[in-house]
Structure 1
Amino acid sequence: MKLARPSVPVKTPANLILTLSTRTSPLRPALLHVLLQRRYATETSLGKTSSPKPRRRSVTPFNDDGRVAWSDLSAGEKTARATQQSFNFGLILAGLGLTGVVTYLLFTEVFAPDSKVANFSRAVDLIKKDPVCQSLLGDPKKIMAHGEETYNKWRRARPIASTIYQDRYGVEHLMMKFHVDGPLNKGLAQLHMTRHPKQGDGDFEYKYLFVDVRGHHRVYLKNADEEKKAAGAAAKKKTRFLGINFG
């Protein structure tokens, strides 16, 4: 009959530290607690394995949001990101170019002193201030000027018929036609303005501006040819004295 051996406790590093603490010099309880915690953390960390990184989706020009670092991209993914950035840069340039075109058109057509809108507004003011036009059309405060009539009921804007061209001598011509409606009558206004090359960036000058009202004579507000004739006749009249022409 074999006698069972008494079980001998296995001495772990933690038990060894506890034994030493009881047999040898007394350690402070706080220091002993810290040593036990460090040993336990070391033993548990050795049993763990690092978890694999989650697999990410491949970067394409359509799903790249810039979260993946450049160094983590493959050669194909770097090409995709470069393509996307080049496309975005092209869109920015196109937007800037379109903005410049719109700004230029707004200035030349609306805000410039010699634009069509500015000349149209000045012509309407001349019509409203003319006494003959007031007698034919009515109260100047109620005179309305607008462009050509349109048969589209959904289109409220009535465009003004106008054109600008340059003749063979380099003279710019601005021609415009619009309607004027008053409490008494309706009329059709037409103007012709010119700008010579010697004027550079100067304003257009009136060649003529008149209003036609049905049943009445044409009303001229500006007539450069007649004004030149009148000025020439007046000059000749001044140079003639006692029947002698000094011109």
Structure 2
Amino acid sequence: MICAFLRVVQHAEKLHGSLGRQLLPHFVFTKACFKTQPLRWGLREQKITVQPRTVLRFTQKTFWTQGPDPRKAKEDSTKQVSIRRNQREETGVSMSQKVREAGRDVSYLIVVLFGVGLTGGLLYAIFKELFFSSSPNIIYGKALGKCRTHPEVIGVFGEPLKGYGEMSRRGRRQHVRFSEYVNNGLKRIRVKFYIEGSEPGKQGTVHAEVEENPGSGQFEFRYIFVEVTPTRSIIVEDNRSEQS
């Protein structure tokens, strides 16, 4: 009996020991959780209370980071001053360039106008020499034509009859000597040129004069004569008695 009782007690101790070992970790863990639960809540509350500080610190840091930097502000002001200075310099340069371009354009315009005026004057002179009755060349051509149809002139000099002007430096005889004057308010022009024909050694000097007609404005011959020798002249046309 005693042996059986001892076995029961031993078995009960073993059973109690195994249950104790199984329940001990759970009890310890629960107790630990119970004891650490306020600590964890405290940590959570600390996180909650600290988090706004962190946010404020981050916001403050961001604010101070994004705030104006004195060096950067100085650099920006320097850049603005340099930009304004460059703009002023560019404005000054552009104004000077415009002034130079305007002066150059004016000079070009003056040159062009001078060229146009000179060309117009030359064209007028050529037109006057070729078509106006007061041109010395026109007077020379008409007088030479009358000499070529005059029988006495042809008999002395022969045919064909040619005329020429004064000898120039280049050896040409195209210049016709002439003079202009006014008599009783009327303009007169005298011309002088030379003629030659087929007769060898024969040369004549032609003198002709025209006077302006007050009615028509045209120039008419007063006289045309050919000087053969100092003592002999051939009268081609003489209207001095009618005009006087």
Q: TM-score, normalised by structure 1?
A: 0.56
Match of 2:210 among 178, 193, 209: 193
Residue-by-residue CA offset, 1:165-190 (whole Å, 9 max, x unaligned): 223x2111110111001111210100
Task: Show structure 2 runs of 5+ residues with no match.
Answer: 1-90
Q: Secondary structure at the match of 2:172?
A: coil
Q: Which has the larger radius of gyration?
A: 2
Q: Secondary structure at the match of 1:91?
A: helix
Q: Which amino acid aligns with 1:74?
A: S
1:205 is matched with: 220
Residues of 1 paired with 2:144 and 2:233: CA distance? 16
Please tell me whether the aligned partners of residues 136 and 176 of structure 2 are also in contact (alpha carbons under 8 angstroms).
Answer: no
Q: Which amino acid aligns with 1:163?
A: S
Q: Which amino acid aligns with 2:189?
A: L
Q: Which has the higher helix share?
A: 2
State the 4+ residue runs in structure 1 displaced beyond 4 angstroms. 226-229
Residues 228 and 108 (structure 1 numbering): CA distance in 2 closer, same or farther, change over 3 Å?
closer
2:186 is matched with: 171
Q: Secondary structure at the match of 1:199?
A: coil
- Alpha-carbon shift at residue 113 of structure 1 (Å): 3.6
Please tell me whether the aligned partners of residues 194 and 203 of structure 2 are also in contact (alpha carbons under 8 angstroms).
Answer: yes
Instruction: State the aligned residue count.
Output: 153
Q: Which amino acid aligns with 1:149?
A: M
Q: Secondary structure at the match of 1:74?
A: helix
2:166 is matched with: 148
- Alpha-carbon shift at residue 204 of structure 1 (Å): 1.2
Please tell me whether the aligned partners of residues 110 and 116 of structure 1 are also in contact (alpha carbons under 8 angstroms).
Answer: no
Residue-by-residue CA offset, 1:23-53 (whole Å, 9 max, x unaligned): xxxxxxxxxxxxxxxxxxxxxxxxxxxxxxx
Q: Secondary structure at the match of 1:108?
A: helix
Task: Show structure 1 runs of 5+ residues with no match.
Answer: 1-70, 230-247
Please tell me whether the aligned partners of residues 133 and 219 of structure 2 are also in contact (alpha carbons under 8 angstroms).
Answer: no
> Identity percentage over the alignment?
22
1:95 is matched with: 115
Match of 1:219 among 223, 234, 238: 234
